[in-house]
Amino acid sequence: MFENLEIWWVTGAQLLYGGDAVVKVDAHSKEMVEGLNNSGNIPVKVVYKGTANSSNEVEAVMKAADNDEKCVGIITWMHTFSPAKMWIKGLQALQKPLLHFHTQYNAEIPWETMDMDFMNLNQSAHGDIEFGHICSRRRVPRKVVCGYWKSEEAQKKIAVWARVAAGVADARKVRCLMFGS
């Protein structure tokens, strides 16, 4: 039923911390997507579509999602601090269901080894809060799932949304004809 469908995962970041940081952001995102797909809890394949570091990149991926029949929805995750302002034009363009996944890459904060590089790179708590604020202020319809990405509870919430997103995609193809009104 869901074999030919996809949910696109797009990570929000910014180039403020340099190219090496984006490489780490991509690695974290790919690991999370692979983990979600391997969990067996999500019925629709999650496809990593990259890290969006600018307004143009966000808008391009949102328009591409709208034009791809396999894509039934978008999952966003803000990896670094303050990427949300870059999402406004893309969110205006998006016509498919949106899930904002409010999570952290790490389950726990590594207090003993934490340094400024770690803190700068792992700011999704701040990025996700700001993204939620932008979406709320702009009245962007979305599902918000909070929880650790490896948590079965969070994965099952994503699974429910995935089934709804697939239903929305299917409903857009329905043709109705009424007789006798």
Q: Are 125 and 91 in contact (CB under 8 A)?
A: no
Q: Average model confidence (pLDDT) for the chain?
A: 91
pLDDT the model gives residue 133? 93
Rounded Cα–Cα distance for residues 103 and 148 (Å): 5
Q: Are 81 and 127 in contact (CB under 8 A)?
A: yes
Rounded Cα–Cα distance for residues 71 and 52 (Å): 17
pLDDT in tens, 88-99: 999 999 999 999
Give φ, ψ of 121 to 5 degrees.
Answer: -80, -35
Query: Which of 126, 115, 125, 65 has its CA nearest to residue 90?
Result: 65
Residue 156 Cα to chain centre, angstroms: 15
Length of the chain (residues): 181
**pLDDT exceeds cutoff 70 at 46:** yes
Share of the chain above pLDDT 90, in %: 65
Rounded Cα–Cα distance for residues 113 and 47 (Å): 32
Token pair 């893309």 is at which residue? 90
Provide the β-strand partners of residue 11.
51, 77
pLDDT in tens, 3-45: 899 999 999 988 877 778 888 889 999 999 999 999 999 999 9
Query: What is the model's pTM?
Result: 0.91
- Residue 33 amino acid letter: V
Share of the chain above pLDDT 70, in %: 99
pLDDT the model gives residue 33? 98
Average pLDDT of the residues in 43-70: 96
Banded model confidence at residue 82, pLDDT cuts 50, 70, 90: low
DSSP 150-177: T-HHHHHHHHHHHHHHHHHHHHTT----
- Residue 45 amino acid letter: K
**pLDDT exceeds cutoff 90 at 179:** no
pLDDT in tens, 104-146: 998 888 888 888 777 777 778 888 899 999 999 999 999 999 9
